[in-house]
Amino acid sequence: MTSESAHRIRDSIEGSWRPFRDLAESLRSRLEEKTPAGWTAKEMLGTIAFWDEAAFGWITLGIRQGQLLEGWTFGSGFDHSQGWPAADVHNAREAEWARGKTVDEVLQRCDDAHRQLLAIIATVTDEEAVKNPDYFPRLGGHYRDHLPELEALAGEAGT
């Protein structure tokens, strides 16, 4: 049975995800264009996928003190066993990964990472949510943070 906390966290994530993903889909033919942030929408989506994957890793390793399943990896191939660099280093690596992929591959990774995020969120207990009040509410925040980049790209459609 899914906890009340898991339901609230999932609802918050989905409330941010749906408009973000729908807009990305509507811009599919333009995702290789630069956003106001200076990277392409496709590169930005590569970072989004990574941070969703990272939530699975953090909940498993950091919060639950467990082990990742044999063979689990980030979609870009990043090896977390060699340390955890700063966010900007991750973002640069993931943007580079996305540059070499098709739009379909990047969107598929985003969708897969999002499903993985929702699956692990479904297992979050009320106790875990209470013990980590600064972590769970932030999940999905990157969709809200980066939505303006897609909105700006969409706004340029008529120009």
pTM: 0.92
Q: What is the pLDDT of residue 156?
A: 72
> Each residue of 75-131: pLDDT tens digit?
999 988 778 889 999 999 999 999 999 999 999 999 999 999 999 999 999 999 999
Q: Roughly what angle, to the nearest 10 degrees, separates helices 103-121 and 41-57? A: 30
Which residues on neighbouring strands pair with residue 34, listed in sequence order? 40
Phi, psi of 40 (to 5 degrees): -75, 160
User: In sequence order, which residues have a C-beta less than 8 Å from that of residue 82 and are 6 or more positions away?
Assistant: none
Q: What is the pLDDT of residue 82?
A: 78
The C-alpha R_g of the chain, in whole angstroms, comes to: 16
pLDDT at 13 over 80: yes
> Each residue of 17-76: pLDDT tens digit?
999 999 999 999 999 999 999 999 999 999 999 999 999 999 999 999 999 888 888 999
- 3 state SS for 95-127: HHHHHCCCHHHHHHHHHHHHHHHHHHHCCCCHH
Angle CA(101)–CA(159)–CA(155) in degrees, nearest 5?
A: 65
- Burial of 43: CB neighbours in 10 Å, binned 0-12, 13-18, 19+: buried
Q: What is the pLDDT of residue 113?
A: 97
pLDDT-derived band at 157, boundaries 50, 70, 90 = low
Hey, what are 56's tokens? Answer: 């699975």
Q: What is the pLDDT of residue 158?
A: 45
Number of neighbouring beta carbons within 10 Å of residue 112: 14
Q: What is the pLDDT of residue 72?
A: 83
Domains delineated in the chain: 4-155 (1.20.120.450)
Cβ atoms of 24 and 85 closer than 8 Å: no
Q: What is the pLDDT of residue 81?
A: 79
